[in-house]
Chain A
Amino acid sequence: MSMNEEKTEFRPLIVAFCCNWCSYAGADLAGSSRLSYPADVKIIRVPCSGRVNPMFILRAFERGADGVIICGCHPGDCHYSTGNYYARRRMTLLFSMLDYMGVENGRTRVEWCSAAEGVKFSNTMNEFCEKVKSLGKSVRLGDIRCKD
């Protein structure tokens, strides 16, 4: 046992929801510009940040995600005009509720990222991974109804 003391680095599981028009394209630009960020981030393409149902986020945390980030077009630039405004309210309330239940604010994030902001996309993901890493493994939301 004592031989295996060397700690394996904690690798967080991070789910990113990216809208098709701005942030997914921003992620593509980060890619074609070879701007790296940790492989811990896995992107799910959605048409709009307004498509992100709170259920998806709860699902991710329930299944063991350590962080969830939603990226959309900048306010005012939504491909569908208003989707990100509704997303902003929905996520503000959901994240606050998650924090209230013990899933810290640092594990959830909304970032507006345009198709031209490859650098911002990469920086955001690096930052977010660092933050989640510093928080460590998340409580497993799926256990909220099971007593120890």
Chain B
Amino acid sequence: MQGLIDRLTALLSDGTVARVIGWKKGDMAYNPEPHMFETAESLKDFVYDGFCGANLSKMMIEASKLEGKTAVCLKPCDTYSFNQLIREHRVVRENAYIIGVGCRGKLDIEKIKKGNKGITSISGTELDGSDDIKIETIYGDKNISYKDALLDRCHVCKGKDHMIFDEVWGESKDTADQERFAEVEKIEAMTPEEKFAFFRNELSKCIRCNACRNVCPACSCRKCIFDNTKFDAQQKANVVSFEERMFHIIRAFHVAGRCTDCGECSRVCPEGIPLHLFNRKFIKDIDKFYGEFQAGKDPEAQSPLTDFTFEDIEPGERG
């Protein structure tokens, strides 16, 4: 990690970049937060370890409007989002200096906390750390496997390659060891009543905190459609409005064909709603109906929803 800090300091000092977007140490070991560093001194608080799951590409929307270049640390999966933002003219490529940071999967603190009460410190989560994480608790020390504490999304990792970068720092690892669409298929096999009950149960937990929308790099609209009264003939007056009820479905449809499956929505949801199940259903269908498509892989590629062939399948059962 020190190597990365040294490199960022050099970039700042020689004027290559005017600022750095990275992660800043949090009050706990497991909650570093996205941060924009403007001086070399401030980089002393820079951190990059297994808890730096946040996708920083969206911060470049505002940063690329600023004077001078901005260095941004992107993990392999984050680079898909960045490419997608280029495609949608939401970031200016020339204003970004992309450090492709290595990744061996990111950690889910909830998984670590499970069965481990009174955690005082966690170590060994750096990129070059060992296969085990060391946990100190008030009840004693413990080692758990790094792999067992991975975020769910890392088990369906898209790969260790950065799609776009100016330089790469550190080694990456493909951590995929699960079927990407297994969860979706499980729901598909349910009866209509079960399906509705499943989603009703999940979505009823939603408190409309907007964390999913705010973190989502595909949700990059300057002004969100949910803040637009144009669809609701009755104007928005009460909490039972259409947008309120259909929020997640509409959101999923809006990012369909653009969502890179970065999984940030599910990671940040305070209620633990598996929101990625909507996006991944669309991805699965797109792959099945129109051929494999990974948003953000190629910034030139046409989104499947703004494209067609004469032989496309027909909607519904008859397809």
Direct contact of A and B (CB under 8 A): yes
Residues of A within 8 A of B (CB): 54-55, 58-59, 62, 75-76, 82, 85-86, 88-97, 99-106, 108-110, 139, 141-147
Of listed A94, A102, A147, residue having the most chain B CB within 10 A: A102
With contacts A59-B242, A101-B249 known, is A95 near B315, CB below 8 A?
yes
- What are the residues of chain B within 8 A of A142 when measuring CB–CB? 240, 242, 245-246
Q: Contact check, A139 vs B196: say whether CB atoms are below 8 A apart.
A: yes
CA distance A109 to B315 in the complex (A): 7
Contact among B196, B206, B282, B307 with A101 in the assembled complex (CB-CB below 8 Å)? B196
Q: Contact check, A103 vs B192: say whether CB atoms are below 8 A apart.
A: yes
Name which residue of chain B comes closest to A86, CB basis.
B308
Add 10 more A-B contacts to A55-B250, A102-B199, A105-B317 (CB < 8 A).
A58-B242, A58-B250, A59-B231, A86-B305, A92-B314, A93-B289, A97-B253, A102-B194, A143-B245, A145-B244
B108 to chain A, nearest CB (A): 25
Q: Contact check, B305 vs A93: say whether CB atoms are below 8 A apart.
A: yes
Is B140 interfacial (CB 8 A cutoff)? no
CA distance A96 to B280 in the complex (A): 12
Q: Contact check, A101 vs B199: say whether CB atoms are below 8 A apart.
A: yes
Is B29 interfacial (CB 8 A cutoff)? no
List 24 A–B pairs whose Cβ atoms lie within 8 Å, in order of A's numbering: A54-B253, A59-B231, A59-B242, A62-B242, A62-B245, A85-B310, A89-B312, A91-B315, A92-B314, A92-B315, A92-B316, A93-B253, A93-B305, A97-B252, A100-B184, A100-B188, A103-B196, A106-B316, A108-B315, A139-B192, A139-B196, A144-B196, A144-B245, A145-B204
- What are the residues of chain A within 8 A of B184 when measuring CB–CB? 100
With contacts A93-B285, A145-B203, A146-B204 known, is A101 near B317, CB below 8 A?
no
Name which residue of chain B comes closest to A56, CB basis.
B231
CA distance A28 to B51 in the complex (A): 63
- What are the residues of chain A within 8 A of B281 when measuring CB–CB? 96-97, 100
Name which residue of chain B comes closest to A70, CB basis.
B315
Contact among A58, A82, A95 with B316 in the assembled complex (CB-CB below 8 Å)? A95
- What are the residues of chain A within 8 A of B197 when measuring CB–CB? 102
User: How many A-B contacts at CB < 8 Å in the complex?
Assistant: 128
- What are the residues of chain A within 8 A of B317 when measuring CB–CB? 105-106
Is B313 interfacial (CB 8 A cutoff)? yes
- What are the residues of chain A within 8 A of B193 when measuring CB–CB? 102, 139
A131 to chain B, nearest CB (A): 10
- What are the residues of chain B within 8 A of A105 when measuring CB–CB? 316-317
CA distance A62 to B247 in the complex (A): 12
CA distance A81 to B196 in the complex (A): 37
CA distance A91 to B313 in the complex (A): 11
Residues of B within 8 A of A (CB): 184, 187-188, 192-197, 199-201, 203-204, 206, 231, 240, 242, 244-247, 249-250, 252-253, 256, 278, 281-282, 285-286, 289-290, 304-308, 310, 312-317, 319
- What are the residues of chain A within 8 A of B286 when measuring CB–CB? 93
B272 to chain A, nearest CB (A): 15
With contacts A62-B242, A97-B278, A145-B244 known, is A102 near B192, CB below 8 A?
yes
Q: Contact check, A89 vs B285: say whether CB atoms are below 8 A apart.
A: no
CA distance A147 to B192 in the complex (A): 17
Q: Contact check, B312 vs A88: say whether CB atoms are below 8 A apart.
A: yes
Q: Contact check, B245 vs A145: say whether CB atoms are below 8 A apart.
A: yes
- What are the residues of chain B within 8 A of A110 when measuring CB–CB? 314-316
With contacts A97-B253, A144-B203 known, is A102 near B310, CB below 8 A?
no
Name which residue of chain A comes closest to B247, CB basis.
A145
A105 to chain B, nearest CB (A): 5
CA distance A90 to B282 in the complex (A): 11
Contact among B192, B199, B290, B313 with A144 in the assembled complex (CB-CB below 8 Å)? B199
CA distance A4 to B136 in the complex (A): 70
Name which residue of chain A comes closest to B231, CB basis.
A55
CA distance A55 to B85 in the complex (A): 24
B211 to chain A, nearest CB (A): 16
